Amino acid sequence: MSSEVPKATTTSPSSGQRAPLFIVIGAGSRGNAYARAVKTTTAGVVHAVAEPHEFKRREFGQKFIWGAGNSPQEGQEFADWREWLRWETERRKRATAPNALRADDEDMKSPSVEAQRSNPGGVDGVFICTLDETHVEIIQAIAPLNLHILCEKPLALSLNDCLTVYRTLQPASPTPTADSQNQHSAAPPPQTIFSIGHVLRYSPHNTTLRKLLLTDRVIGDIVSLEHTEPVGWWHFAHSYVRGNWRRATSLGDGSLLTKSCHDIDFILWLLCSPASLEDARVHGHQPHFPRSVSSAGSLTQFRRARKPPGAGDSTTNCLSCPIERECNYSAVKIYHDRHLAQGHRAWPVDIVCPDIEDVHRTKGADAARESLFSRLSEDYTVGEQPDAALASKPWYGRCVYEADNTVCDDQVVTLAWDDEQVAPWRLAKTATFHMVAPTESQCKRRGRIYGTQGEIEYDSCKISVYDFQTGERSVLEIPRPSPERAESHGGGDYGLAGQFVRAVDAVVNGELDVETAQARFIGCTLEEAVQSHAMVFAAEEARREERVVRWDEWWQSKLEESS
Rounded Cα–Cα distance for residues 174 and 193 (Å)? 19
Report pLDDT for 422: 61
Q: Which of 213, 214, 159, 169 is nearest to 195 (CA)?
A: 169
Count of all residues that appear for the chain in the document: 563
- Which run of H or E residues covers position 23? strand 21-25
273: pLDDT confidence band, cut at 50, 70 and 90?
confident
5 in helix, strand or coil? coil
Confidence of residue 42 (pLDDT cuts 50, 70, 90): very high
Instruction: Report the predicted TM-score, pTM, of the whole model to 2 decimal places.
Output: 0.89
The confidence band for 283, taking pLDDT boundaries of 50, 70 and 90, is low
The phi, psi pair for 463, rounded to 5°, reads: -130, 125
State residue 122's pLDDT score. 80
Tens-place pLDDT, residues 419-440? 976 655 678 999 999 999 999 9
User: Alpha-carbon distance 283 to 279, whole Å?
Assistant: 6
Mind spelling out the 3-state secondary structure of 206-242?
Answer: HHHHHHHHHHCCCCCCEEEEEEEEECCHHHHHHHHHC
Contact 475, 462 (CB under 8 A): yes
Q: Which among 93, 193, 78 is positioned nearest to 146, based on CA atoms?
A: 193
- At the topology level, CATH places domain 199-301+407-488+525-562 in Dihydrodipicolinate Reductase; domain 2 (3.30.360)
- Per-residue confidence (pLDDT) for residue 477, from 0 to 100: 86
CATH (residue range 21-196): 3.40.50.720
105-135 confidence digits (pLDDT tens): 444 444 444 444 445 448 999 999 999 999 9
d(CA 301, CA 298): 9
What is the band of 75 on the pLDDT scale with cuts at 50, 70, 90?
A: very high
Q: Please classify residue 42 by burial: count the beta carbons closer than 10 Å to its beta carbon, then call 0-12 exposed, 13-18 middle and 19+ buried.
A: buried
Range 270-296 average pLDDT: 80
Instruction: State yes or no: cis peptide before 322, omega within 30 of 0.
Output: no
- Residue range 378-402, pLDDT digits in tens: 999 999 999 999 999 999 999 999 9
In 3D space, the residue among 296, 302, 300 whose CA is nearest the CA of residue 544 turns out to be 296
Of 11 and 62, the one with more pLDDT: 62
Express each pLDDT in 365-382 by its tens digit.
999 999 999 999 999 999
User: pLDDT above 70 covers what percent of the chain?
Assistant: 86
pLDDT in tens, 473-504: 999 988 766 655 545 667 889 999 999 999 99
Mean pLDDT of 507-526: 94
Task: Indicate if the alpha-carbon torsion angle 393, 150, 57, 124 is positive or negative.
Answer: negative
The amino acid that residue 425 corresponds to is W
Contact 524, 2 (CB under 8 A): yes
Omega before 348 cis (within 30°)? yes
Residue 521 is predicted with a pLDDT of 96
Residue 180 pLDDT exceeds 60: no
The residues spanned by each domain of the chain are: 21-196, 199-301+407-488+525-562, 310-391
Q: How far is CA 139 from CA 119, 173, 188, in A?
A: 22, 17, 19
Report pLDDT for 258: 95
Mean pLDDT of 225-239: 97
